Amino acid sequence: MNVSAWAIRSPLASILLFIVLMVVGVYGFMRLPITYFPTIDTPVVSVTVGQSGVAPEELETEVTKPVENALASLANVEKISSTVTNGESVTEVDFVLGTVDIDEPIIERIEEEAQPVAIYAVSSTDMSLAEVSWFIDDTLARELQSVPGLAGISRIGGVDREIRVWLDPDRLHAYELSASAVTESLASTQLDVSGGRSTFGGREQVLSTRARVDDVADLSAIGIARSGGRQIALGNLGAIRDLYAEPRSFALLGGAEVVAFSVERTMGASETGVADSVARRIDEIVAATPGITMILVDDGVRYTRGNYVAAMHTLLEGAVLAVAVIFLFLRDWRATIIAALALPLSAVPTFFVIGLLGFSLNILTLLAITLVTGILVDDAIVAIENIARHRAMGKRPYRAALDASDEIGLAVVAISATIIAVFVPVGLMSGEVGLYFREFGLTVAIAVFFSLLVARLITPILSAYFLTGAIPAEGGRGAFVSAYQRLLRLALKFRWLTVGLAVGLFALSMMQLGSLPTAFLPEEDTGRLALTVELPAGSTLEETRAVAEDVSRRFSRAGDLDTVFIRGGASASGERGVRFAAVTLDFGPAAGRAMSASDVEAAMKAELAAIPDIRYQFLNARGGRDISFAILSNDGDAAQAAANAILTAMENDPAFVNPTSEATAMRPELRMDVLSKKAESLGVSAAAIAETIRVSTVGDSDGKLPKFADGGRLIPIRVQLDENLRTDIETLGLLGIPAAGGIQVPLSGVVRFTYGETLSSIERLDRERRIDIGADMAEGLTSGEGLEALMSLPAMRDLPPAVRISTTGDSDTQGDVFSSFIVAMSAGVLLVFVVLVLLFGGFLSPFTILASLPLSVSGVVAALMLTGSAISLPVVIGILMLMGIVTKNAIMLVDFAIEHEKAGHPRLEATMEACAERVRPIIMTTLAMVAGMLPSALAFGEGGEFRSPMAITVIGGLIASTFLSLAVVPALHLIVSGLGDRLTRLFARHADTDEPVPNAQS
């Protein structure tokens, strides 16, 4: 049944359908969350095991390796990575949930979505640093928890209130006590515990034991158990102070210390919605809290919001240009409006469907919508142009719509079906890459499907009932068509030469394509830079603070900087340590400043070069370097030697800028070698020695600390030696160690003190030692060229057998993405062939149509060379899009040629006539698509750097394939059809006369 004819005769159902689709589409658009990337639900689990005071090498053997081995035995484990620092082992594993019973490990799921959407700095004229910290942890967290989509806030910098008990070692020695014994005794007394239930006076009552003191001053009178059943007051053992925990981090804004907090959203929540709601709530809190100031120091959604606004503008601009092209060709405002309506009627319902699928308005779905602007009116243009042609024959609008829709029906369905067939495999790609591009591929496919419905239902209805102007006179075909026919006749006369030249051009283009530079993503100016400043191992937090203040002063002198925010105690990539500082520079949108991001980075590098004894590295917008890779080996020394050799080679190669190694730095260590025989004779265990030293210097582990109740808040009580005495070896040597018989012996009597070095941290990947190396590329070089230069280094080619290389970050993702898209392209082309075979009822015509795909390669190469663009992810997506849209020209030519031939015309005449009739809609649809993508190609607004290479690729390939297909496809059609005739005669000669002869010409 002809769907268009039914729609024309019974228009009410189709009109009501699209009214409903438009209403639900607008509703769906209003509810779609706005995010930068698609919503990704990756099953990553983090297992954190803490053993206070244990060195990384010991923790690796005793904790990390058993944890990794246990997790590796589970099914569907993709990757295991570990970071071991002093006293803590963190193991991350993909696709696994597990538990390891070592000192109450912390097992948590890591969500890609839980990234900060904003960071605020808080300061107060009326509160101390500790009070501001508690204000954030308590008041602010409670006030913001009602914001929809907010996962929580995390404090940056500041301090935690803590009761400090500084023990006097002389008094400990006099009373034969150790710091661990004091801690245990204090923990056993500072308890409030429910202890059962009973019935009194006929009523059931809960029994509870309360022993905690109500005032810090009362802690001094608490009795600490001694040997022989005696006790000593805690206050007689040292000083008790209500202070704060030893800081391990800090936050600076413009060089001044602040307390900051980050805002995280829940999975699937709108980034802009959460950020805006939090901002409004913060304004209310500030207004109600005198003396408090909150400043937005890192707007994580500014670029997301800018990308959304720019994409909407690009969509509208592209639509206007596409409609202008239609009017220039049709010169009929009624026909132009009918064709233009295809865009909103196709795009708006798409928003409703992608909302049902759980998609968001992100960089990929917006990219899909903006790039299909011209494609969405493509089917309508084909239909309306054919109706206008039938009107020119003298037919009334109703009859013209019926005849033209029936005539063009197969071509319209085939054009849309091929595009859908190309992009559905993209939506079904596997792996993490597939999770990202699922939304892109399915959004394109859904939008094109609705454009097909519009072309087959709404466009014929509107043409039949509203295209009521005067019937245009049927004139000649014009000078352009006449010139084209003369050129086409010449191409068809020498058809083999025409096809041969096309093959040669394709081969030359492929050779040139292989010489183009490659990169994962084009450089984007987000108005934000992140870098890590690293001090030598063993540096203190105060030394890091001094360097951070110097960095802040130097950067503040540079122009075009809005804020300089520094987070001490962690690197920009998340590695924790007091010798790291993460610097965030915000300099606003590119449109409002004179310096580009690369200029700002160059100026900052010059400032950093003047600071002694530091190492720094800038990170790109994705948190990595231009190229990055890991040295892996079971032998840590072999991995270190290989890393040193590779790093030296990279430093001597001008292609690499600031190569740095994450090789574990050595930190100074005071070793206490146990005198085994002496310790054994005294009944002193190594565990008792380690426990005494740990508690005396850093206190007990956080989970075992006694607590002081202050209202509804539990304050940890940390017992340790006086701060000034912890740095004295003689004092440490006098510490009492529990021995046999309840006596204590001095530490110096059972150990020998020596100085040495130990690893500050250990990185592991897939149960091997890991050393990361990263570098930026010199001006004019892409990451792909950098990888080629890296692999050509002798140090890379001469690796020891026990050492291997694994790309990481963008370098690893680039290979995965490109290989996945090659698979998706192959699947798409195969699916297109299947669809065409089913539509055309044969194999030869689909072969002719698919042969038009290589015709676009020359245009792609030319466009990339002219614009200086590298082959990056947007370019690959553009090539994929070309696979779906360049076949439209061949479909229209071949379909019309076959129809004319069925009508009794000779094949050459039928082909010539089909080309003459179809050249105008082919040019129209091509120019409409080019016009629709032109704003994207010009890279206007935020995210333009990502959209531009894709649009350039599509425009170049589309223009080249259009003009080449007008000559090459007809020539190939005649060649393939002639081959079909010979095959038909061959089959007829050998087939039984009672059986039908298959049609090989279709």
Which tens digits make up the pLDDT trace of 169-213?
A: 888 878 888 888 888 888 877 766 666 777 777 777 777 777 777
The whole-angstrom separation of Cα 350 and Cα 444 is 9
Q: What is the pTM of this model?
A: 0.78
pLDDT of 219-246, one tens digit each? 888 888 877 778 888 888 888 888 888 8
Sequence-distant (6+) residues with CB within 8 A of 807 are 628, 629, 630, 787, 815
pLDDT at 862: 92
Residue 394 lies in a domain: yes
Query: How large a percentage of the chain has pLDDT more than 70?
Result: 93
In angstroms, what CA-CA distances link 909 with 45, 898, 906?
68, 11, 5
pLDDT at 989: 66
Q: What is the band of 718 on the pLDDT scale with cuts at 50, 70, 90? A: confident
Mean pLDDT, rounded, for 943-948: 82
The whole-angstrom separation of Cα 966 and Cα 489 is 11
Residues 737 and 719 reside in one and the same domain: yes
CB 354, CB 439: distance < 8 Å = yes
Q: What is the band of 294 on the pLDDT scale with cuts at 50, 70, 90? A: very high
601 is written with which tokens?
A: 């980075």
Tell me 246's DSSP state: P
Residues 595 and 673 reside in one and the same domain: no
Could you tell me which residue, 588 or 5, shows the higher pLDDT?
5
Residues 847 and 993 reside in one and the same domain: yes
pLDDT at 101 over 60: no
The least confident of 58-67, 210-219, 569-578 is: 210-219
Residues 455 and 486 reside in one and the same domain: no
Residues 227 and 357 reside in one and the same domain: no
Residue 812 lies in a domain: no
Mean pLDDT, rounded, for 300-314: 84
pLDDT at 96 over 50: no
Q: What is the band of 100 on the pLDDT scale with cuts at 50, 70, 90? A: very low
Residue 567 lies in a domain: yes
DSSP three-state, residue 965: helix
End residue of a domain, out of 582, 602, 620: 620
Residue 688 lies in a domain: yes
Residue 409 lies in a domain: yes
The least confident of 15-29, 84-98, 721-735 is: 84-98
CB atoms within 10 A of CB 642: 25
Residue 731: name the closest of 168, 175, 179 by CA: 168
**How many domains is the chain built from?**
5
pLDDT at 477: 59
Residue 988 lies in a domain: yes
End residue of a domain, out of 52, 76, 110: 110
Residues 446 and 493 reside in one and the same domain: no
Q: What is the band of 664 on the pLDDT scale with cuts at 50, 70, 90? A: low
Tell me the sheet residues that pair with 94: 44
Q: What is the band of 704 on the pLDDT scale with cuts at 50, 70, 90? A: confident
Residues 436 and 541 reside in one and the same domain: no
pLDDT at 992: 52
CB 5, CB 402: distance < 8 Å = yes
Q: What is the band of 863 on the pLDDT scale with cuts at 50, 70, 90? A: very high
pLDDT of 642-660, one tens digit each? 888 888 888 888 888 888 8
Mean pLDDT, rounded, for 922-942: 83
Mean pLDDT, rounded, for 430-451: 82
Residues 704 and 754 reside in one and the same domain: yes
Find the CATH number of the domain harbouring 386.
1.20.1640.10
Residues 538 and 452 reside in one and the same domain: no
CB 581, CB 573: distance < 8 Å = no
pLDDT at 71: 80
pLDDT at 850: 86
pLDDT at 956: 92
End residue of a domain, out of 620, 655, 676: 620
Residue 289 lies in a domain: no
The whole-angstrom separation of Cα 913 and Cα 917 is 6
pLDDT of 773-813, one tens digit each? 888 888 878 888 888 888 888 888 888 888 888 888 777 77
The whole-angstrom separation of Cα 593 and Cα 590 is 6
CB 975, CB 894: distance < 8 Å = no
Q: What is the band of 99 on the pLDDT scale with cuts at 50, 70, 90? A: very low
Longest dimension (CA), the chain: 120
Mean pLDDT, rounded, for 408-416: 80
pLDDT at 109 over 50: no
* Domain interval for residue 102: 43-110
pLDDT at 823: 81
Mean pLDDT, rounded, for 594-611: 81
Averaged pLDDT of the chain: 82
The whole-angstrom separation of Cα 580 and Cα 248 is 11
Residue 312 lies in a domain: yes
pLDDT at 996: 54
Mean pLDDT, rounded, for 283-289: 91
